[in-house]
Structure formats: C-alpha cells, structure tokens
Structure 1
Amino acid sequence: MRDILSDLEQSPLDPAEAIRAQGRRTLPKRFYKEVTVAEGEGGHEVRLDGRTLRTPAKAKLAVPSAALAAALAEEWAAQGVEIDPFTMPLTRLVNVALDGVARNPQEVKEEIVRYMGSDLLLYRAEGPEGLVARQATHWDPVLAWLDRAHDARFFLAEGIRHVEQPADMVARVAALVGTDDPLSLAALSTLTALTGSAFLAVALANGVLDADAAWRAAHVDEDWTIERWGEDAEATARRAAREKEMRAAVRLLDLVKG
C-alpha cells in the first residue's frame, strides 16, 4: 500500500501518468473489513479494522474536520477486492498535505503566487474574434472581482509576449493565500496547477466561481480547438482524470471550511 500511494504522491498533479504507472503494477488486495472514524489526539482519524490509517510517510492520518474524515472513510469503504488509489483522490491529496505541504507551507504559497505574475487570465488571444470574446466572457468577471473587492488591477497581454505585472497588485492577490493550513494550501496548489491560474483558484476558494465555472474558464482555449478539430481518446481520458483531481481539491476546501 505504501509504495502505490507514495508513487501517486510524488506526482499528484499528473493523474494521467499515475493511471499509466498504476497499470504497470499489481494493485494490493483489500486487507480490511470495517472502516470507521474516531476522534484521536491529533484530530479525527480513519481506522481500518480499528487501526489508525497512516500516510505514506507513516504519520497518523488525522484531520481537523469530522466531515473530512467521514469523506476519507467513504473512499476506503468503497474499495472492492483490490485497493485502487486512483479512486481515492481525497486520500491522496490529504497525504500530500500532511507529508509534504505541512513541512514547508511557505514554499507552497510562493509557488502559487508565482503563477499570478503570468496568470492564464492575463494572456489573451489575438484572434479569432470568437475566441477573444469567449475568453472575455469567462475571464473578465474574475479580474473584475479582483479589482472591485481587492483593488487589484492587471495589464492584459495578447499572444505569448510577457507583460510585467505591478508587484503591489500581485501582492494584494497573494494576500488571499494567507493560510498556513496544509490542507487548504494543498487544495489551492492543486487547483492552481490544474487550471493554470492562481486567480481561478482564489476565486474558487472565495466562492466567486463554482467548480463547473472554473473548469470551463480553465479550458476556454482547449474547448475552442476541440470544437473545430475534435479530440482524441487519450486527451479525453487525460482531461477527465485531471477534472476528477480538480473536483477533489474543491471538495477538500469545502470540507476544511466546515
């Protein structure tokens, strides 16, 4: 069990590769009958046949929210004859938070903030007109919220030419990533990487967008291309896997909040 979860933890934001790697090895058999949740010293624990579940780094898997612990327990209870880590996105994300993010939350914050200087939403297509309009429809409301609610205004660029953004404006949005909670940071980091936009991640975290709207906004260009040229099966599977990870991160944020 440790080896499989560790492999997925090393590359949590590339679920498609995780699927391929998983297909090259045998999944472990389910070794437990009962999954329960109990309150322990470090928080709410998931227990398999009475034994506390542990992360790949051997830490107790304890979370502050009873609702989150129950959601994790559901993933473990839903396993069949074999244990398939890919069907447990919340468990994998919590493992990443407890084993990785908790050790250096500041580094994770800085990684999220780095996206803001060249965020997806700031780089617009030069054409065709329909794509330009669609980007504006999905992206402008988020930038308008940053301006209205946080007095943060940014320069838009056309094409791939880099445009330096005002440091004070980036700092205002960066303040929205103020938490040191490893679970929230792991979710925000995942959302940023999967959407290509820290702005979309903080908008999600603040209830400005729901998961459906954020996913559509993150794939404006891709959807435009698919509508004209079609999509192959591998790309479809890869996108579905990434969406599953994204929705798990959104759910984790919701469960951490309460």
Structure 2
Amino acid sequence: MSDDFTNTGVPVPGEPIDPVAMARRDQKKALPKRFYKEATAEARDGGFAILLDGRPVKTPAKNALALPTLAAAEAVAAEWQAQGEYIDPQEMPLTRLVHSALDGVAGEKAACVEEVVKYAGSDLVCYRAAEPDALVKAQAEVWDPYLTFAHEKFGARFICAEGIIFAAQPEPSCQAVHEAVQAIAAPKATGAFALASLNVMTSLTGSALIALGVVHGAFDTEAAWGAAHVDEDFQMKIWGRDEEALQRRARRWIEMEAAAKLFRLVHQEETKG
C-alpha cells in the first residue's frame, strides 16, 4: 500500500485541519460517481427522454425523465453530459427543476397555482418606501412598469402601499392573475414544467407580477432579477457591498436563469407550434 496521503484529504498528524477541505472531501464522498459515457435525448412515448448510454433515466420518484420538447430535453441532457467524475445535483439546476415538475407539480397543479396567486395578494412591487426620496424614485422607475404590464395584459389594477402595512388587492385583479397562471398550467404536455418554472421565479423574486412579466416576454430575465433587488442594491450603495448577500444572490440567480430557460424551452415552443 502506498504511503502517499498527499491528495487523500486525510489530515496528517501535526498539521492544521482545513475544515473547508474536509467538508469538500465528505461532500464528494457522498456524491455518486459518474457511471456513463454519453447523455443524449431521444423521442420516446410522445416525449423526449434523457438517456445515459442508451438507457432511460428515472426521477427520484421513479418517473421517466422526459420532456415535451427536444430543445428542453437536450438542455437537460447537456447537464448530465457536463458532469465530471462525480454527479453533482447542485450543478444541474435544470434537472432538479424537471424533477420537481414531474415528481411534485404534475400531481399538485391546483395547489401550485394557488401558491403563485397568493404572492399577487401581497406582491413585492406593491409595497413602497416612504423615504428616502432616492429609494422612492428607484422603486417607482423599476416597479411601475410591472403594474402597467399587469393592467395592460390582464386588466388587473393593483394598489400600492407604503411600508409593511398590508393592503388588500381588488378581488378582480387577483382573479385575473389566477386565470393567467391557470392558463400556463393547463396544457397537458407542458403545464407542469411551465408552472414549476413560474413558481420558482415567483418565489425567488417575491413577485408574481415580475415572474409573469418574464414568462410573457414583457421583461427579460436579467431586468426582472434587478427589479427583485432594488431595495438591496440601494442599501449597498449607501453602506457598501454585502459579499454574503451577493454570493447568496449569485446562487439564487442560477435557479432563476434555469427556470426562465426551461419555461422558454417547453412553453413558448408549444405556442409557436
């Protein structure tokens, strides 16, 4: 047996323990090793399945890992193909979202619709600062277009309030949002994927109106992400960069970008067809 422990991650007596290195070693040990050479997408049973060396993949709940469009399936297959020695789910945001759609959302569409609509009842863009004037102006410039979008697209008018005091929104407006979300969830082939994507974007931004603006193509994903962080960015201009907050935002952006991408690939392709 070799006596070379240089790259094992095991601490040598007399040397300081590196907790970060130990954590990384333990995390890798818990990950499954890559067992396939090629990940591909192939038409099967009316959809497009993900195959590993020609064998179909299952979700954690044992559903077939398949998508309604070739473009979406190829994007997921690309995540599997990009894996190295180990399969790391944290590096596969599209795959994780698809698992959620197939194993969770598909069987709970009504509940997921209500979850998105609930955000509209206390939407981020409706709660404004009373001061300072610079923040009031920044919020109005970025958030007002989303209120305009909701009115023009859905006929929904939303009430803005100052501070954190709850302001009940008009029932017709909430109903209009409900109908809009329900329309996204309705298609049999794409609904679960599109709704899962919308749900993720809503929870990440704190705004159903921002998320709906993205999925309807009224705002690009980057602009929507900036709109969700107006207050945070304003505070950093005053107090300086918050590195922890920025790192957290970067991790969450990966999920936001994946959700917007999946929606485009499964929902907008259908509408084009």
**Fold agreement, TM-score > 0.5:** yes
1:225 equivalent among 212, 235, 257: 235
1:190 equivalent among 194, 200, 204: 200
> Paired residue for 2:125?
121
> Paired residue for 1:215?
225
Q: What's the Cα RMSD here?
A: 1.7
**2:164 equivalent to 1:150:** no
- TM-aligned CA distance change 1:25 to 1:168, over 3 Å: farther
Cα distance in 2 for residues equivalent to 1:25 and 1:234: 27
> Paired residue for 1:94?
98
For each residue in 1:71-95, what CA deviation from the matched residue of structure 2 results, as whole angstroms up to 9, or x when unmatched? 0110000001111111110000000
Is this contact kept in 2: 1:35–1:49, CA < 8 A? yes
For each residue in 1:55-113, what CA deviation from the matched residue of structure 2 results, as whole angstroms up to 9, or x when unmatched? 01111111110000100110000001111111110000000000000011000000000
Q: Map residues 12-27 of structure 1 onto 2, 5 A cutoff.
A: 23=27, 26-27=30-31
- Indicate the SS of the match to 1:56: coil
Cα distance in 2 for residues equivalent to 1:206 and 1:65: 19
1:121 shift after superposition:
0.6
Cα distance in 2 for residues equivalent to 1:251 and 1:83: 22
Cα distance in 1 for residues equivalent to 2:29 and 2:174: 44
For each residue in 1:120-172, what CA deviation from the matched residue of structure 2 results, as whole angstroms up to 9, or x when unmatched? 01000011101110101111011012122322111110000111111111111
- Indicate the SS of the match to 2:30: coil
> Paired residue for 2:73?
69
1:238 equivalent among 242, 248, 257: 248
Query: Please, what TM-score do these two structures have when normalized by structure 1?
Result: 0.89
- Indicate the SS of the match to 2:236: helix
> Paired residue for 2:264?
254
Query: Please, what TM-score do these two structures have when normalized by structure 2?
Result: 0.84
- Please say which of residues 94-103 and 28-37 is displaced more in the overlay: 28-37
User: Structure 1 stretches (4+) deviating beyond 4 angstroms?
Assistant: 22-25
Identity fraction in percent:
49
Higher RCO (C-alpha 8 Å, min separation 6): 1
- TM-aligned CA distance change 1:81 to 1:38, over 3 Å: same
Give the structure with higher Rg (CA): 2
> Paired residue for 2:141?
137
Listed as ranges, the gaps of 5+ residues in structure 1 are 1-18
Listed as ranges, the gaps of 5+ residues in structure 2 are 1-22
- TM-aligned CA distance change 1:135 to 1:65, over 3 Å: same
Is this contact kept in 2: 1:90–1:248, CA < 8 A? yes
1:232 shift after superposition:
3.6
